Amino acid sequence: MLNSTACCSSYGRLTYIFNQPVHNNMKTNHRVLACSGFNINMLHAPNGQLTTLQSGAYLEKQFYQSLKRAYNPKRRYQAQSIIISFSDQEFDTNNLNEQASQALQLVQGYVHQHFSDAQSVSCVQCDGDGGRLHVHLLINTVKPNGKTVPTNRFSVYRMRKDFNKYLEDNFQRVTGRKWNNSFDKETTRQDNKSISTRSSWEEQLKQTIDHIKEEVRNVEDFLSRLSNEGIHVKERGKNKRWTYTQIVPDKDGKPKLKRVRAFYQRKDKNGNVLSTRGLGQAYTRQELEEYWQQQKEQVLTPTPRHNIGKEANNHDRSNFQIKQDEELVKIRAIAKEAKAAANRQQQRTQLNLRQLRAAEAEERKQRSQSQAGSIDQRQSNQGRSQSISKQRRAAADSQRRIREQQELARRTNGKDVGPDR
């Protein structure tokens, strides 16, 4: 097994590999069984051999010196951490020291073949929970000359393929045992038209397309029928490759756009197929048009002369059956289009009804507010009228009293009152 991860800091990874205690002492009490490197200085024992007691900080300083020579010394990813785990069939760990040396030799040979221009450190361990022999390989993404290692060289697919090829050529030479590739199975598809789907939606989509293509005879009708089912086709790139899209509800019931290519293959420079995606080659525009052309040719192909005598009685019946099938296809298509139109009309009617109800509710709300306002205004007017009436009555009473006083004064000082006798 091979796993690859980009690291933002080589210091954390190097100290994890060399300067942590043993994780599991089931098979060994040593954190590091063997180690080596390329284009980097490592600590040696007094006898001149590389020691397993390395300093992660010391190694990281050398990584950092290369990083400072890069065009962008503040680049985000500084190293690539690769873990190569061997199976029990490859190394059973019965003779741990010897097998650790063999595993290191295999990994170093692979690194020398593919990453000899970069700084790297390899460390063999066997203190994992699974108890398997594995190698930590840390590669500096900046070469000693300041140039960077292309990211495509760290592709997991590419590294697995190259490492398996190296084991196939060198495993028996190093270990004395024959290497069996457990992944060496039939990986190329015998029929690229049949590709296993990755989801139930893709499987349902393929069934819908298979059903529709049997009922139509050209691309225009095919796209129209797909549109009625809520499936749309978009053309991509210069070759106008098809991509099927559909809006479907997710697990929470929310609408989600899903898309899948009809057929796509990624190839290397030599034309070898690296990966295949999509529904299958049978769902491309070219394959569908060829399918419909074959259907037309089967209908229009004349009967061979030597079979005329045998099939003369069935010829008219076949033509009649073909016409009936074509009429049935047309009737089915018309019925589905009418059903879709009825559904759309019903949705529009329901939408209009909801809008009408909302408008009526708003109108009732405004009317009630208006009525409440008119009642308040009427009450205010009545109060104002009563106040004015009181003021008028008070003024009238005041005027009446003034007239009475004037009249009394006039009578008192006038002729009506005689002298005292």
Chain segment 342-369, per-residue pLDDT in tens: 788 888 888 888 888 888 888 888 888 8
**Sole residue written with tokens 């295999």:** 106
Residue 198 pLDDT: 53
* H or E element, residue 336: helix 308-413
CATH number at 2-175: 3.30.930
Chain segment 106-135, per-residue pLDDT in tens: 999 999 999 989 999 999 988 887 788 999
Per DSSP bridges, beta strands 241-249 and 255-261 are: antiparallel
CB 233 within 8 A of CB 243: yes
Chain segment 240-249, per-residue pLDDT in tens: 889 999 888 8
Q: How far is CA 402 from CA 167, 180, 307, in A?
A: 132, 133, 138
Query: Which residue from 12, 60, 69 is spatially nearest to 37, judged by alpha carbons?
Result: 60
Q: Where are the domains of the chain?
A: 2-175, 200-304
Residues contacting residue 311 through CB under 8 Å, at least 6 positions apart: 303
Chain segment 79-103, per-residue pLDDT in tens: 899 999 898 888 888 888 898 999 9
Tallying the residues shown for the chain, one arrives at: 421
In one letter, which amino acid is 86?
F
Q: Predicted confidence band at 305 (pLDDT cuts at 50, 70, 90)?
A: low
Q: Predicted confidence band at 17 (pLDDT cuts at 50, 70, 90)?
A: confident
**Sole residue written with tokens 């099939």:** 311
The DSSP code sequence of 62-100 is HHHHHHHTSS-TT-S--EEEEEEE--TTT--SSSHHHHH
Q: Predicted confidence band at 338 (pLDDT cuts at 50, 70, 90)?
A: confident
Residue 37, SS3 per DSSP: strand
The first and second tokens of residue 395, run together, are 């003024």
Residue 121 pLDDT: 92
CB 114 within 8 A of CB 153: yes
Report the alpha-carbon distance of residue 289 to residue 87 in Å, rounded.
49
Chain segment 254-270, per-residue pLDDT in tens: 888 888 888 888 888 77
Among the ranges given (152-161, 174-183, 375-384), the one the predictor scored with the smallest mean pLDDT: 375-384
Query: Which residue from 226, 227, 225, 245 is spatially nearest to 235, judged by alpha carbons?
Result: 245
Mean pLDDT across the stretch 140-158?
88
State yes or no: pLDDT of 202 exceeds 50. Answer: yes
Report the alpha-carbon distance of residue 292 to residue 288 in Å, rounded.
6
Chain segment 44-61, per-residue pLDDT in tens: 888 888 888 888 889 889
Specify the pTM: 0.47
Query: Which residue from 48, 27, 44 is spatially nearest to 35, judged by alpha carbons?
Result: 44
